[in-house]
Structure 1
Protein backbone atom coordinates (compact mmCIF):
# COMPACT_ATOMS: atom_id res chain seq x y z
CA UNK A 1 0.00 0.00 0.00
CA UNK A 2 1.43 3.36 -0.99
CA UNK A 3 1.92 5.63 1.99
CA UNK A 4 -0.54 8.52 2.19
CA UNK A 5 -0.53 10.93 5.12
CA UNK A 6 -2.88 13.88 4.61
CA UNK A 7 -3.55 16.30 7.44
CA UNK A 8 -6.46 14.69 9.24
CA UNK A 9 -6.76 17.72 11.53
CA UNK A 10 -7.62 15.66 14.56
CA UNK A 11 -7.35 12.62 16.74
CA UNK A 12 -6.72 9.18 15.28
CA UNK A 13 -8.87 7.51 17.93
CA UNK A 14 -11.40 10.12 19.06
CA UNK A 15 -13.66 9.67 22.04
CA UNK A 16 -17.13 8.88 20.68
CA UNK A 17 -18.53 11.74 22.74
CA UNK A 18 -16.57 14.12 20.52
CA UNK A 19 -18.53 13.19 17.42
CA UNK A 20 -21.97 12.26 18.76
CA UNK A 21 -23.39 15.43 17.19
CA UNK A 22 -22.10 14.31 13.76
CA UNK A 23 -23.84 10.94 13.74
CA UNK A 24 -26.50 10.29 11.14
CA UNK A 25 -30.08 9.90 12.36
CA UNK A 26 -31.48 6.40 12.43
CA UNK A 27 -33.53 5.57 9.36
CA UNK A 28 -36.10 2.94 8.45
CA UNK A 29 -35.08 3.14 4.78
CA UNK A 30 -32.53 1.05 2.89
CA UNK A 31 -29.23 2.89 2.98
CA UNK A 32 -28.24 1.80 -0.54
CA UNK A 33 -31.27 2.63 -2.71
CA UNK A 34 -32.68 5.11 -0.16
CA UNK A 35 -36.16 4.42 -1.54
CA UNK A 36 -37.42 1.16 0.00
CA UNK A 37 -37.93 0.15 3.63
CA UNK A 38 -35.03 -1.61 5.36
CA UNK A 39 -36.43 -5.07 6.01
CA UNK A 40 -33.26 -7.21 6.03
CA UNK A 41 -29.95 -7.37 7.85
CA UNK A 42 -26.79 -8.22 5.92
CA UNK A 43 -24.67 -11.08 7.24
CA UNK A 44 -21.46 -9.91 8.87
CA UNK A 45 -19.98 -12.99 7.23
CA UNK A 46 -21.72 -15.10 4.62
CA UNK A 47 -23.59 -17.98 6.20
CA UNK A 48 -21.90 -20.42 3.81
CA UNK A 49 -18.48 -19.30 5.09
CA UNK A 50 -19.56 -19.68 8.71
CA UNK A 51 -20.99 -23.13 7.97
CA UNK A 52 -17.68 -24.20 6.40
CA UNK A 53 -15.81 -22.82 9.40
CA UNK A 54 -18.17 -24.68 11.73
CA UNK A 55 -17.49 -27.94 9.86
CA UNK A 56 -18.53 -31.10 11.65
CA UNK A 57 -17.97 -29.58 15.07
CA UNK A 58 -21.41 -27.99 14.93
CA UNK A 59 -20.29 -25.07 17.08
CA UNK A 60 -18.68 -21.68 16.65
CA UNK A 61 -17.39 -19.42 19.39
CA UNK A 62 -18.15 -15.77 18.71
CA UNK A 63 -15.67 -13.50 20.47
CA UNK A 64 -15.95 -9.75 20.90
CA UNK A 65 -13.32 -8.35 23.21
CA UNK A 66 -13.77 -10.22 26.49
CA UNK A 67 -17.27 -11.45 25.62
CA UNK A 68 -17.80 -14.88 24.07
CA UNK A 69 -20.92 -16.68 22.91
CA UNK A 70 -21.42 -20.11 21.42
CA UNK A 71 -23.36 -20.62 18.19
CA UNK A 72 -24.50 -24.23 18.01
CA UNK A 73 -25.51 -25.97 14.81
CA UNK A 74 -26.37 -24.67 11.36
CA UNK A 75 -29.78 -23.69 12.71
CA UNK A 76 -28.08 -21.32 15.13
CA UNK A 77 -26.56 -19.47 12.19
CA UNK A 78 -30.00 -19.02 10.67
CA UNK A 79 -31.83 -18.03 13.86
CA UNK A 80 -29.09 -15.59 14.97
CA UNK A 81 -30.60 -15.50 18.44
CA UNK A 82 -28.14 -12.98 19.86
CA UNK A 83 -27.76 -10.79 16.78
CA UNK A 84 -24.19 -11.97 16.26
CA UNK A 85 -24.35 -13.17 12.66
CA UNK A 86 -26.17 -10.26 11.04
CA UNK A 87 -26.08 -6.49 11.14
CA UNK A 88 -29.28 -4.72 12.20
CA UNK A 89 -31.87 -4.34 9.45
CA UNK A 90 -30.65 -1.57 7.17
CA UNK A 91 -31.25 -2.84 3.62
CA UNK A 92 -34.30 -3.69 1.55
CA UNK A 93 -34.69 -7.26 0.30
CA UNK A 94 -34.09 -6.42 -3.40
CA UNK A 95 -30.80 -4.62 -2.67
CA UNK A 96 -29.59 -7.22 -0.20
CA UNK A 97 -30.51 -10.20 -2.35
CA UNK A 98 -31.23 -9.95 -6.08
CA UNK A 99 -29.39 -6.73 -6.94
CA UNK A 100 -26.21 -7.69 -5.08
CA UNK A 101 -26.29 -11.41 -5.91
CA UNK A 102 -23.23 -11.17 -8.17
CA UNK A 103 -21.32 -9.51 -5.30
CA UNK A 104 -22.15 -12.41 -2.98
CA UNK A 105 -21.15 -15.02 -5.56
CA UNK A 106 -17.78 -13.38 -6.18
CA UNK A 107 -17.17 -13.14 -2.45
CA UNK A 108 -17.98 -16.81 -1.87
CA UNK A 109 -15.56 -17.87 -4.63
CA UNK A 110 -12.87 -15.67 -3.08
CA UNK A 111 -13.63 -16.90 0.45
CA UNK A 112 -13.26 -20.54 -0.53
CA UNK A 113 -9.92 -19.79 -2.18
CA UNK A 114 -8.61 -17.88 0.84
CA UNK A 115 -9.78 -20.61 3.21
CA UNK A 116 -8.01 -23.30 1.16
CA UNK A 117 -4.64 -21.61 0.59
CA UNK A 118 -1.82 -20.48 2.85
CA UNK A 119 -1.55 -16.84 1.83
CA UNK A 120 -0.12 -15.04 4.86
CA UNK A 121 3.44 -15.61 3.65
CA UNK A 122 2.75 -14.59 0.05
CA UNK A 123 3.50 -11.23 -1.58
CA UNK A 124 0.08 -11.03 -3.23
CA UNK A 125 -3.05 -12.86 -4.35
CA UNK A 126 -3.67 -13.88 -7.95
CA UNK A 127 -7.16 -12.82 -8.95
CA UNK A 128 -6.73 -14.77 -12.16
CA UNK A 129 -6.20 -17.93 -10.11
CA UNK A 130 -9.48 -17.25 -8.33
CA UNK A 131 -11.64 -15.98 -11.18
CA UNK A 132 -9.87 -16.90 -14.41
CA UNK A 133 -10.39 -14.67 -17.43
CA UNK A 134 -13.26 -12.85 -15.69
CA UNK A 135 -11.01 -11.53 -12.93
CA UNK A 136 -11.60 -7.84 -13.74
CA UNK A 137 -15.38 -7.94 -13.31
CA UNK A 138 -15.29 -10.48 -10.50
CA UNK A 139 -12.73 -8.43 -8.57
CA UNK A 140 -15.01 -5.40 -8.85
CA UNK A 141 -17.91 -7.49 -7.59
CA UNK A 142 -15.76 -8.72 -4.70
CA UNK A 143 -14.96 -5.12 -3.79
CA UNK A 144 -18.64 -4.21 -4.06
CA UNK A 145 -19.51 -7.03 -1.68
CA UNK A 146 -17.13 -5.46 0.82
CA UNK A 147 -18.62 -2.04 0.09
CA UNK A 148 -22.00 -3.46 1.09
CA UNK A 149 -20.48 -4.93 4.25
CA UNK A 150 -18.71 -1.69 5.19
CA UNK A 151 -21.81 0.36 4.42
CA UNK A 152 -23.86 -1.77 6.81
CA UNK A 153 -21.23 -1.25 9.49
CA UNK A 154 -21.39 2.51 8.97
CA UNK A 155 -25.17 2.51 9.27
CA UNK A 156 -25.00 0.40 12.43
CA UNK A 157 -22.61 2.96 13.95
CA UNK A 158 -24.59 5.87 12.45
CA UNK A 159 -21.68 7.11 10.37
CA UNK A 160 -22.85 8.92 7.20
CA UNK A 161 -22.37 6.58 4.24
CA UNK A 162 -20.20 8.30 1.59
CA UNK A 163 -21.90 8.90 -1.74
CA UNK A 164 -18.87 7.34 -3.46
CA UNK A 165 -19.63 4.01 -1.78
CA UNK A 166 -23.16 3.96 -3.19
CA UNK A 167 -21.91 5.07 -6.61
CA UNK A 168 -19.35 2.26 -6.61
CA UNK A 169 -22.01 -0.30 -5.78
CA UNK A 170 -24.14 1.17 -8.56
CA UNK A 171 -21.46 0.59 -11.19
CA UNK A 172 -18.66 3.15 -10.81
CA UNK A 173 -15.24 1.52 -11.14
CA UNK A 174 -13.40 3.68 -8.62
CA UNK A 175 -13.97 5.81 -5.53
CA UNK A 176 -12.06 9.12 -5.57
CA UNK A 177 -12.20 9.47 -1.79
CA UNK A 178 -11.74 5.83 -0.77
CA UNK A 179 -9.48 2.85 -1.27
CA UNK A 180 -9.55 -0.87 -0.58
CA UNK A 181 -6.43 -2.99 -0.20
CA UNK A 182 -5.70 -6.58 0.79
CA UNK A 183 -4.02 -6.91 4.18
CA UNK A 184 -2.61 -9.40 6.65
CA UNK A 185 -2.38 -8.35 10.31
CA UNK A 186 -0.12 -10.20 12.75
CA UNK A 187 -2.28 -9.59 15.83
CA UNK A 188 -5.40 -10.82 14.02
CA UNK A 189 -3.61 -13.97 12.89
CA UNK A 190 -2.49 -14.62 16.47
CA UNK A 191 -5.92 -13.96 17.98
CA UNK A 192 -8.21 -15.68 15.48
CA UNK A 193 -6.09 -18.06 13.40
CA UNK A 194 -8.28 -19.42 10.62
CA UNK A 195 -11.40 -17.82 12.11
CA UNK A 196 -13.24 -14.81 10.73
CA UNK A 197 -13.14 -11.35 12.26
CA UNK A 198 -13.93 -7.70 11.71
CA UNK A 199 -11.79 -4.86 12.96
CA UNK A 200 -13.03 -1.95 15.04
CA UNK A 201 -14.65 0.86 13.04
CA UNK A 202 -12.47 3.93 13.57
CA UNK A 203 -13.58 7.41 12.46
CA UNK A 204 -11.48 10.55 12.63
CA UNK A 205 -12.84 14.02 13.29
CA UNK A 206 -11.53 17.50 12.61
CA UNK A 207 -9.76 19.40 15.37
CA UNK A 208 -12.78 21.62 15.91
CA UNK A 209 -15.14 18.64 15.94
CA UNK A 210 -17.12 20.08 13.03
CA UNK A 211 -16.88 17.14 10.63
CA UNK A 212 -15.70 13.62 10.04
CA UNK A 213 -12.44 13.63 8.12
CA UNK A 214 -11.89 9.90 7.55
CA UNK A 215 -12.65 6.38 8.66
CA UNK A 216 -10.92 3.00 8.52
CA UNK A 217 -12.19 -0.55 8.96
CA UNK A 218 -11.36 -4.08 7.82
CA UNK A 219 -12.93 -7.52 7.46
CA UNK A 220 -10.92 -10.76 7.61
CA UNK A 221 -11.10 -14.36 6.49
CA UNK A 222 -8.46 -15.98 8.63
CA UNK A 223 -5.35 -13.78 8.41
CA UNK A 224 -6.33 -12.15 5.10
CA UNK A 225 -8.47 -9.04 5.16
CA UNK A 226 -9.79 -6.18 3.08
CA UNK A 227 -9.03 -2.73 4.50
CA UNK A 228 -11.32 0.18 3.59
CA UNK A 229 -10.31 3.80 4.08
CA UNK A 230 -12.41 6.87 3.33
CA UNK A 231 -10.95 10.40 3.33
CA UNK A 232 -13.35 13.34 3.17
CA UNK A 233 -11.00 15.53 1.13
CA UNK A 234 -10.28 12.77 -1.38
CA UNK A 235 -7.25 10.58 -2.08
CA UNK A 236 -4.89 11.62 -4.90
CA UNK A 237 -4.74 9.22 -7.84
CA UNK A 238 -1.13 8.24 -7.18
CA UNK A 239 -2.03 7.04 -3.67
CA UNK A 240 -5.36 5.38 -4.47
CA UNK A 241 -4.10 1.84 -5.12
CA UNK A 242 -7.30 -0.22 -5.30
CA UNK A 243 -6.79 -3.99 -5.09
CA UNK A 244 -9.57 -4.60 -7.63
CA UNK A 245 -7.66 -2.85 -10.41
CA UNK A 246 -4.86 -5.45 -10.43
CA UNK A 247 -4.63 -9.08 -11.49
CA UNK A 248 -2.13 -9.78 -8.69
CA UNK A 249 -2.70 -7.21 -5.93
CA UNK A 250 -0.11 -7.11 -3.16
CA UNK A 251 -0.80 -8.08 0.43
CA UNK A 252 -0.08 -5.20 2.81
CA UNK A 253 1.32 -6.44 6.12
CA UNK A 254 0.55 -4.84 9.50
CA UNK A 255 1.70 -5.62 13.01
CA UNK A 256 -1.57 -4.83 14.78
CA UNK A 257 -4.93 -3.10 14.45
CA UNK A 258 -3.51 0.27 15.45
CA UNK A 259 -1.17 0.11 12.47
CA UNK A 260 -4.14 -0.84 10.28
CA UNK A 261 -5.79 2.42 11.36
CA UNK A 262 -2.72 4.57 10.79
CA UNK A 263 -1.70 2.75 7.60
CA UNK A 264 1.78 1.94 8.89
CA UNK A 265 2.78 -1.27 7.12
CA UNK A 266 5.66 -3.56 7.98
CA UNK A 267 7.96 -5.31 5.54
CA UNK A 268 6.68 -8.63 4.20
CA UNK A 269 8.42 -11.76 5.46
CA UNK A 270 11.52 -13.12 3.76
CA UNK A 271 9.62 -15.70 1.72
CA UNK A 272 7.22 -13.09 0.37
CA UNK A 273 10.11 -10.79 -0.53
CA UNK A 274 11.89 -13.67 -2.27
CA UNK A 275 8.81 -14.51 -4.35
CA UNK A 276 8.38 -10.84 -5.22
CA UNK A 277 12.02 -10.71 -6.33
CA UNK A 278 11.51 -13.80 -8.52
CA UNK A 279 8.36 -12.27 -10.00
CA UNK A 280 10.15 -9.02 -10.83
CA UNK A 281 13.29 -10.69 -12.22
Structure 2
Protein backbone atom coordinates (compact mmCIF):
# COMPACT_ATOMS: atom_id res chain seq x y z
CA UNK A 1 0.00 0.00 0.00
CA UNK A 2 1.24 3.50 -0.80
CA UNK A 3 1.18 6.21 1.85
CA UNK A 4 1.79 9.92 1.75
CA UNK A 5 5.30 10.83 2.83
CA UNK A 6 5.74 11.68 6.51
CA UNK A 7 9.33 12.80 6.04
CA UNK A 8 8.94 15.65 3.54
CA UNK A 9 12.16 17.65 3.30
CA UNK A 10 14.27 14.88 4.83
CA UNK A 11 16.41 12.32 3.04
CA UNK A 12 14.16 9.31 2.37
CA UNK A 13 17.05 6.90 3.02
CA UNK A 14 18.54 8.00 6.36
CA UNK A 15 15.47 10.05 7.40
CA UNK A 16 17.73 12.28 9.49
CA UNK A 17 19.49 14.81 7.25
CA UNK A 18 17.87 17.45 5.04
CA UNK A 19 17.21 16.35 1.46
CA UNK A 20 19.74 18.61 -0.25
CA UNK A 21 20.95 16.43 -3.13
CA UNK A 22 19.41 15.63 -6.50
CA UNK A 23 19.85 12.12 -7.93
CA UNK A 24 20.00 11.81 -11.71
CA UNK A 25 16.93 10.29 -13.38
CA UNK A 26 19.18 9.51 -16.31
CA UNK A 27 22.66 8.54 -15.17
CA UNK A 28 25.19 11.26 -15.95
CA UNK A 29 27.73 8.69 -17.17
CA UNK A 30 25.12 7.23 -19.55
CA UNK A 31 24.32 10.66 -20.98
CA UNK A 32 27.99 11.46 -21.48
CA UNK A 33 28.72 8.01 -22.91
CA UNK A 34 25.88 8.34 -25.42
CA UNK A 35 25.87 12.05 -26.28
CA UNK A 36 29.21 13.49 -25.10
CA UNK A 37 29.80 16.27 -22.54
CA UNK A 38 27.06 18.57 -23.84
CA UNK A 39 25.40 20.85 -24.64
CA UNK A 40 22.59 18.79 -26.14
CA UNK A 41 20.60 21.17 -28.37
CA UNK A 42 18.47 18.37 -29.84
CA UNK A 43 17.48 16.54 -26.62
CA UNK A 44 14.31 17.51 -24.82
CA UNK A 45 11.81 16.18 -22.33
CA UNK A 46 8.12 16.52 -23.06
CA UNK A 47 6.12 17.01 -19.87
CA UNK A 48 2.91 18.80 -18.96
CA UNK A 49 2.29 19.83 -22.56
CA UNK A 50 5.64 21.49 -23.15
CA UNK A 51 9.21 20.72 -24.16
CA UNK A 52 12.08 21.22 -21.74
CA UNK A 53 15.50 21.13 -23.33
CA UNK A 54 18.27 19.09 -21.74
CA UNK A 55 21.21 21.49 -21.75
CA UNK A 56 23.79 18.93 -20.63
CA UNK A 57 24.43 16.01 -18.28
CA UNK A 58 23.83 18.17 -15.18
CA UNK A 59 20.55 19.68 -16.41
CA UNK A 60 17.79 19.89 -13.81
CA UNK A 61 15.55 18.16 -16.36
CA UNK A 62 17.48 14.89 -15.86
CA UNK A 63 17.46 15.05 -12.05
CA UNK A 64 14.90 14.34 -9.37
CA UNK A 65 14.06 17.16 -6.98
CA UNK A 66 16.14 16.95 -3.77
CA UNK A 67 15.09 13.69 -2.08
CA UNK A 68 18.41 12.48 -0.62
CA UNK A 69 21.04 14.04 1.60
CA UNK A 70 24.48 14.56 0.07
CA UNK A 71 26.03 11.79 2.17
CA UNK A 72 23.48 9.15 1.10
CA UNK A 73 23.58 10.26 -2.54
CA UNK A 74 27.38 10.23 -2.69
CA UNK A 75 29.32 8.20 -0.15
CA UNK A 76 26.64 5.78 0.97
CA UNK A 77 25.37 4.84 -2.49
CA UNK A 78 28.73 4.91 -4.30
CA UNK A 79 29.09 1.08 -4.46
CA UNK A 80 25.64 0.87 -6.07
CA UNK A 81 26.44 3.55 -8.65
CA UNK A 82 29.77 1.92 -9.48
CA UNK A 83 28.14 -1.50 -9.91
CA UNK A 84 25.63 -0.01 -12.36
CA UNK A 85 28.41 1.79 -14.26
CA UNK A 86 30.39 -1.43 -14.54
CA UNK A 87 27.32 -3.27 -15.86
CA UNK A 88 26.50 -0.49 -18.37
CA UNK A 89 30.12 -0.42 -19.60
CA UNK A 90 30.06 -4.18 -20.05
CA UNK A 91 26.79 -4.10 -21.99
CA UNK A 92 28.05 -1.34 -24.27
CA UNK A 93 31.31 -3.19 -24.93
CA UNK A 94 29.71 -6.58 -25.51
CA UNK A 95 26.40 -5.70 -27.17
CA UNK A 96 26.80 -8.01 -30.16
CA UNK A 97 27.64 -11.01 -28.01
CA UNK A 98 24.76 -10.23 -25.63
CA UNK A 99 22.28 -9.95 -28.50
CA UNK A 100 23.44 -13.17 -30.12
CA UNK A 101 23.61 -15.19 -26.89
CA UNK A 102 20.55 -13.49 -25.35
CA UNK A 103 22.30 -13.66 -21.98
CA UNK A 104 24.61 -11.66 -19.74
CA UNK A 105 27.03 -13.63 -17.60
CA UNK A 106 27.40 -11.56 -14.44
CA UNK A 107 30.63 -13.41 -13.65
CA UNK A 108 32.09 -11.75 -16.74
CA UNK A 109 30.85 -8.36 -15.54
CA UNK A 110 31.83 -8.47 -11.86
CA UNK A 111 34.28 -11.36 -11.61
CA UNK A 112 33.87 -15.01 -10.77
CA UNK A 113 34.13 -14.48 -7.00
CA UNK A 114 32.25 -11.16 -6.73
CA UNK A 115 29.38 -11.47 -9.16
CA UNK A 116 26.72 -11.86 -6.47
CA UNK A 117 27.90 -8.73 -4.64
CA UNK A 118 28.02 -6.85 -7.95
CA UNK A 119 24.52 -8.02 -8.84
CA UNK A 120 23.17 -7.00 -5.44
CA UNK A 121 24.78 -3.56 -5.61
CA UNK A 122 23.40 -3.02 -9.12
CA UNK A 123 19.92 -3.94 -7.87
CA UNK A 124 20.39 -1.47 -5.00
CA UNK A 125 21.13 1.20 -7.62
CA UNK A 126 17.72 0.56 -9.18
CA UNK A 127 16.09 0.50 -5.73
CA UNK A 128 17.64 3.92 -5.00
CA UNK A 129 16.19 5.21 -8.28
CA UNK A 130 12.74 3.85 -7.35
CA UNK A 131 13.02 5.40 -3.88
CA UNK A 132 13.83 8.80 -5.38
CA UNK A 133 10.86 8.54 -7.76
CA UNK A 134 8.52 7.67 -4.90
CA UNK A 135 9.87 10.46 -2.68
CA UNK A 136 9.66 13.02 -5.50
CA UNK A 137 5.97 12.18 -5.85
CA UNK A 138 5.32 12.56 -2.11
CA UNK A 139 5.01 8.82 -1.45
CA UNK A 140 6.56 7.30 1.66
CA UNK A 141 9.49 5.02 0.82
CA UNK A 142 8.92 1.83 2.83
CA UNK A 143 11.58 0.36 5.08
CA UNK A 144 13.85 -1.54 5.05
CA UNK A 145 15.85 0.53 2.63
CA UNK A 146 18.89 -0.47 0.65
Q: 2: CA distance between counterparts of 1:104 and 1:89?
A: 18
Shift of 1:24: 2.5
1:111 pairs with 2:88: yes
> Hey, what does 2:45 align to over in structure 1?
63
Q: Label 1:42 to 1:57 Cα distance change in 2 as closer, same or farther (>3 A).
A: closer
SS of aligned partner of 1:95: helix
Q: Over aligned residues, Cα RMSD in angstroms?
A: 2.5
TM-score (ref. length: structure 1) = 0.45
Higher Rg: 1
In structure 1, which of residues 141, 155, 164 is the aligned counterpart of residue 121 of structure 2?
141
Q: Label 1:84 to 1:56 Cα distance change in 2 as closer, same or farther (>3 A).
A: closer
**Cα shift readout 1:111-154 (whole Å, capped 9, x = no counterpart):** 11223314456533211111112111111110111111110001
CA contact (8 A) 2:5 2:140 kept: yes
> Hey, what does 1:51 align to over in structure 2?
32
Q: Which has the higher helix share?
A: 2
Unmatched 5+ stretches in structure 2: none
1:1-281 matched pairs, under 5 angstroms = 22-25=3-6, 27-55=8-36, 58-59=39-40, 61-64=43-46, 67-72=50-55, 76-78=56-58, 80=59, 83-116=60-93, 117-118=95-96, 119=98, 122-133=101-112, 134-164=114-144, 166=145, 169=146
Shift of 1:68: 3.9
Give the total of aligned pairs.
141
Q: Which has the higher strand share?
A: 1
TM-score (ref. length: structure 2) = 0.82
